[in-house]
Structure 1
Amino acid sequence: MRRLLAATGLLGCLPLASCRSAPENGRTVVMIVESSPNNLDLRLGTDAQSERIGSLVFDPLVRKDEHFEMQPWLATRWEQPDPLTWIFHLRSDVYFHNGQPLAAADVVWTIESLIDGSLITSKGGAFSAVASVEARDPLTVVIHMKRPDASLLFNLSDGLFGVVPRGSGRDLGQHPIGSGPFRFESAEQDKEVVLDRNDRYWAGTPKLERVLFSVVPDAVTAALELKKGSADIASNVLTLDMVHTLEHAPGLAVEAGPGSTVYYLNFNVTQGPLRDRRVRQAIACAMDRTAIVRAVWRDQARLATTLLPPGHWAEARPETLARYPQDLARAARLLDEAGFPVGKDGVRLGLEIKISTDETTRLLAIVLQQQLRAAGIRLTLRSAEFGTFYSDVTRGVFQIYSLKWIGSNEDPDIFRYAYGSDRFPPKGGNRGRYSNPKLDADLTAAANSSEESTRKGYFVDAQKILAEDVPGIPLWFPNNEIVHTQRVTKIVASGSGSYDFLRTAELK
């Protein structure tokens, strides 16, 4: 907390000369992001910035509404004549940024590249039930399934899927060509990404002419740039104390609302003490998540019992799940049972957590380090810039890490993607290499069912297994907090934390 307060205090005393100067082009909106996108090609990019910025460059077949229901987008309608066949009818007025009309053959190419092995991508696992894809005519796509998969529509939606021009290879992310509201202009790793308005956008030309995404890993520097006016927008970048300070600053405004993004801890269950679920349960018992939400999030977050957003149709009732309120005595019993007695120095075991340089995550790790120390667990912090951190995470080079699920957790198939035995990277997001045959059976049964009530039963069982085994710990759902200069108007925070507000935002 001393670090948090110190960081907030710096907003009023650090010299503004340390910030970048205002952009020369007054029509350019500068938006701060914590890290560079790993790959703007939505077939390959799985990190938050890739999906959020990529969704402005590419269009999906369908889009989620505020209730996570699928609505038409590139596909004006679809039907399912039988459980193994999906037919999508496309718009006729869509063009890629290079002037080429978007047609069924482009959709076919996009999906085939995800399943034919030409791309090494974790998103391919989401289409493992697809047998083949065909263009029945220039505006009709038919997807033939090996087995029913009720999550197909979700996997074809915004943030997860974007149609690419036929023939696009694995290098598309270096200069992406999509059909979205903004065109890619340039990118420089760890510095910026620049997008220009797509004047021919079929869904309505954006009001903003140009958006420069400026990479600023340090939250204090980001806050100073907003205060100076050399940046215009920061979405979920700053600590809540910084947001609270800046909402009273001249020329700035804050938009906020409940979010569906979930923060979580994940364990490498193949690593040393973490192979024993009693150790993982003890870590959960040593944590005081309520205190962390109060201290780090200023009570602007909801505690999570599962990865699914509160109120989701497949969410298990909290009282039916194994729960771990802070209980140091229970943590001690679990560690004794697991064979980790208290040493002469008061330490039972040592573990390491890997984090990015994101300020909020660093604050979480510092508080967590203190809380686990009370249970006899010595937690070492290892921080790295996001690219290095994310590479280690996907390769399984970690014991514990902290990240957030953005958008993907709005569909219950997140449990299969994150914890299915067949979803180890690069086929999915099971980075902790967790495997449980009963969980796999429940998730397979849910995927093969088309009845929502039946699927919910399997998903509830899956959540019970995960709550007992603790391969990871869902932490909380923070509110979305967008700080912006008052020269940018019509900004509305979305539940998913996406950058969709740039589609409708305007400059005074």
Structure 2
Amino acid sequence: MSPRKSMALALAALMLSAGAALAQPTEIRIGVALEPPALDPTAGAAEAIDVVVYQNVFEGLVRIDQTGAVQPGLAESWTISDDGLTYTFSLHDGVTFHDGTSFDAEDVKFTFERLLAADSVNAQKALYAPISEVSAIDPLTVAFTLSRPDGLFLFNLGRGDAVIVAPESAANNGAEPIGTGPFAFVQWDRGSRVVLEQYGPYWGDKPALTKATYLFISDTSTMTNALLAGDVDGTNNFAPEALAVFEGNPQFKVLVGSTEGETILATNNRKAPFDDLKVRQAMAHALDRQEIIDGATYGYGVPIGTHFAPHHPYYLDLTGTYPHDPHKARVLLKEAGYPDGFSATLKLPPVAYARLSGQIIASEFAKVGIKLELINMEWAQWLEDVFANKDFDLTIISHVEPFDIGIYANPDYYFGYDNPQVQSLNETLNATTDEAERKRLAQEIQTIIARDAVNGYLFELAQTGVWNAKLEGMWQNAPVEGVVLRDIHWVE
């Protein structure tokens, strides 16, 4: 071999080696606290299912973005009839499921007939009750006929409960999920991990990642060590009490956002003295949200003044409605006939944010004359006594369902708020599809329930992600459950 040729080959090898060294990684390992019981989001309620498969393996006609807004999914566009009862979707062409079978309108029809069937086990079946008929007009056009207008119809189509499945594979999706998403299921080592790989024939934009491994790590110390050792590249929701390990460490980024978990001091509006607006206003003035957030969430909760997620486009900041003012609280209690305050019970479910918040609120209320007896309960007892039997004075709980302000229009709901104006506004909201009008109505309801101090509005549960500093594209907020992979990528 000539010296010139030998030098050229050596240079080429050096360039290849340098290129390999500079190449960006395309795989990710994500630590998650809970292992899903199955992998079919249309047949189970566990959040852990959507964390792995939502928008990754499975897709819906539409998808929810990080702000909670509805975006096109398998449907590239849609029209709504003037009466709000017919939604017609135009589907993307050339879409296939991961087993190679084609996607078309018949798959959409099958999905929703299965969801609404008498033997359906879909956890959110009731949300889709307005659907009276699904018609496959042609392979790329599907129409939904509703029995009544439903302003949340498009949002509900974007939930994990409404992802599209195929008749050929639906029965086995719990163990071997087959969807149309950018990632295909590869393996599930139970008790350890789920592996997904990029689906080559994916119909949409290719993600930067080629492989994603979800590792199940429930223990905070173990997760901390795995992150520090580089055994996992990130986690979407890390224990707030341990975040200090990663803050200020240039190898990591801590992403703090909000979830759909409105944490409230739920109040039994049916019984005295809580049926008195002045008493509820006094309690609202007695609350110091920042003290509660600092003590119960280590400073990571987002303050709220009403029952709505701060990241949502409809959110109205009403935290100033009843500012912390113990003197005003005592004046209101006196006006309500309780110059010396009163005693009440505070029943607490077995979650840290509730138990810690309860201790702080008891101290805050004592300063205005309200003496609280803290009663710790297990979940089964809380669900029976508080939620089902409504046997409580006060409790603390996070409501994690998206866009659940409609619970204030149900006088039979556990906190017993009965306001005909809110019920009328909510009925109109449910029947309205115009976005501007929906926002106005939602904000009017938010304002009324804040003014009525129906509950003590404390904070939105935070999403506290810890990620390798070289990763970008992760969701900071969690308007729906899931760790969406499509935009995640490595950078230098």
TM over 0.5: yes
**Structure 1 match to 2:373:** 378
Return closer, same or farther for 1:284/1:175 CA change in 2, 3 Å cut-off.
farther
Preserved CA contact (<8 Å) 1:52 1:159: no
Cα distance, 1:168 vs. partner? 7.1
**CA distance in structure 1 between the partners assigned to 2:357 and 2:340 by the alignment:** 26
Is residue 377 of structure 2 the alignment partner of residue 367 of structure 1? no
**CA distance in structure 2 between the partners assigned to 1:199 and 1:393 by the alignment:** 46
- The alignment partner of 1:142 has SS state of strand
Deviation per residue, 1:23-73 (Å, 9 max, x gap): xxx997443333344664333545543333331331021224455443322
AA partner of residue 458 (structure 1): L
**CA distance in structure 2 between the partners assigned to 1:491 and 1:259 by the alignment:** 16
Q: Which moved more, 1:253-262 or 1:267-276?
A: 267-276
Q: TM-score, normalised by structure 2?
A: 0.75
Cα distance, 1:476 vs. partner? 2.7
Say which of 186, 204, 214 aligns to 2:216: 214
**Structure 1 match to 2:108:** 107
Aligned pairs, number: 456
Return closer, same or farther for 1:281/1:132 CA change in 2, 3 Å cut-off.
farther
Cα distance, 1:147 vs. partner? 2.4
Deviation per residue, 1:376-412 (Å, 9 max, x gap): 112233466xx99889988678853422537x24xxx
**Structure 2 match to 1:421:** 410
Deviation per residue, 1:118-148 (Å, 9 max, x gap): 3255523322332211111222110112222
**CA distance in structure 1 between the partners assigned to 2:303 and 2:88 by the alignment:** 40
Preserved CA contact (<8 Å) 2:262 2:459: yes
**CA distance in structure 2 between the partners assigned to 1:125 and 1:223 by the alignment:** 40
Cα distance, 1:491 vs. partner? 4.3
Cα distance, 1:354 vs. partner? 0.7
Preserved CA contact (<8 Å) 1:97 1:198: no
**Structure 1 match to 2:477:** 495
Is residue 33 of structure 2 the alignment partner of residue 34 of structure 1? yes
Return closer, same or farther for 1:367/1:46 CA change in 2, 3 Å cut-off.
farther
**CA distance in structure 1 between the partners assigned to 2:441 and 2:140 by the alignment:** 36
**CA distance in structure 2 between the partners assigned to 1:31 and 1:391 by the alignment:** 36
Preserved CA contact (<8 Å) 2:98 2:199: no
**Structure 1 match to 2:18:** none
Q: TM-score, normalised by structure 1?
A: 0.73
Deviation per residue, 1:456-501 (Å, 9 max, x gap): 4432332234225555444334665421245x63343333365124
Cα distance, 1:153 vs. partner? 1.4
- The alignment partner of 1:500 has SS state of coil
**CA distance in structure 2 between the partners assigned to 1:394 and 1:47 by the alignment:** 19
Q: Which moved more, 1:144-153 or 1:37-46?
A: 37-46
**CA distance in structure 2 between the partners assigned to 1:32 and 1:53 by the alignment:** 11
**Structure 1 match to 2:93:** 92
Preserved CA contact (<8 Å) 1:352 1:398: no
**CA distance in structure 2 between the partners assigned to 1:223 and 1:396 by the alignment:** 41
AA partner of residue 448 (structure 1): A
Return closer, same or farther for 1:66/1:209 CA change in 2, 3 Å cut-off.
closer
**Structure 1 match to 2:247:** 247
**Structure 2 match to 1:325:** 324
- The alignment partner of 2:162 has SS state of coil
Preserved CA contact (<8 Å) 1:341 1:348: no
- The alignment partner of 2:477 has SS state of coil
**Structure 2 match to 1:8:** none
- The alignment partner of 2:349 has SS state of strand
Preserved CA contact (<8 Å) 2:130 2:146: yes
**Structure 2 match to 1:504:** 488
- The alignment partner of 1:57 has SS state of coil
**CA distance in structure 2 between the partners assigned to 1:391 and 1:43 by the alignment:** 27
Q: Which moved more, 1:64-73 or 1:26-35?
A: 26-35
Equivalent runs, 1:171-320 vs 2, <5 Å: 172-184=173-185, 185-186=187-188, 188=190, 191-200=191-200, 201-203=202-204, 204=206, 207-216=209-218, 218-239=219-240, 242-249=242-249, 252-256=251-255, 258-259=257-258, 261-265=260-264, 267=266, 269=268, 276=275, 283-295=283-295, 301-310=301-310, 314-316=314-316, 318=318
- The alignment partner of 1:318 has SS state of coil
**Structure 1 match to 2:136:** 135
Equivalent runs, 1:323-472 vs 2, <5 Å: 323=322, 325-327=324-326, 330=329, 334=333, 337=336, 348-356=343-351, 363-372=356-365, 374=367, 375-382=370-377, 399=392, 400-403=395-398, 405=400, 408-409=402-403, 414-416=404-406, 418-421=407-410, 436-472=419-455
Return closer, same or farther for 1:174/1:154 CA change in 2, 3 Å cut-off.
same
Preserved CA contact (<8 Å) 1:194 1:211: yes
Deviation per residue, 1:352-375 (Å, 9 max, x gap): 11143xx55654454345445553
AA partner of residue 476 (structure 2): S
AA partner of residue 186 (structure 1): W
**CA distance in structure 2 between the partners assigned to 1:48 and 1:95 by the alignment:** 26
**Structure 2 match to 1:163:** 164
Q: Which moved more, 1:272-281 or 1:96-105?
A: 272-281
Cα distance, 1:421 vs. partner? 2.7
Cα distance, 1:255 vs. partner? 4.2
Preserved CA contact (<8 Å) 2:262 2:460: yes
Preserved CA contact (<8 Å) 1:109 1:167: no
Preserved CA contact (<8 Å) 2:26 2:490: no
**CA distance in structure 2 between the partners assigned to 1:243 and 1:223 by the alignment:** 9
Cα distance, 1:76 vs. partner? 1.1
AA partner of residue 50 (structure 1): I
Larger radius of gyration: 2
Q: What is the root-mean-square deviation in Å for CA atoms of aligned residues?
A: 4.2
Preserved CA contact (<8 Å) 1:30 1:214: no
AA partner of residue 188 (structure 2): S
Preserved CA contact (<8 Å) 1:235 1:480: yes
Q: Which moved more, 1:172-181 or 1:270-279?
A: 270-279
**CA distance in structure 1 between the partners assigned to 2:274 and 2:41 by the alignment:** 34
AA partner of residue 445 (structure 2): A
Q: Which runs of 5+ in 1 are unaligned?
A: 1-25, 425-429
AA partner of residue 367 (structure 1): I
**CA distance in structure 2 between the partners assigned to 1:125 and 1:97 by the alignment:** 29
- The alignment partner of 1:293 has SS state of helix
Q: Which runs of 5+ in 2 are unaligned?
A: 1-24
Preserved CA contact (<8 Å) 1:353 1:401: yes
Preserved CA contact (<8 Å) 1:104 1:138: yes
Deviation per residue, 1:80-115 (Å, 9 max, x gap): 243321111112232223332222122222223343
**Structure 1 match to 2:10:** none
AA partner of residue 100 (structure 1): T
Return closer, same or farther for 1:502/1:89 CA change in 2, 3 Å cut-off.
closer
- The alignment partner of 1:325 has SS state of coil
Equivalent runs, 1:143-154 vs 2, <5 Å: 143-154=144-155
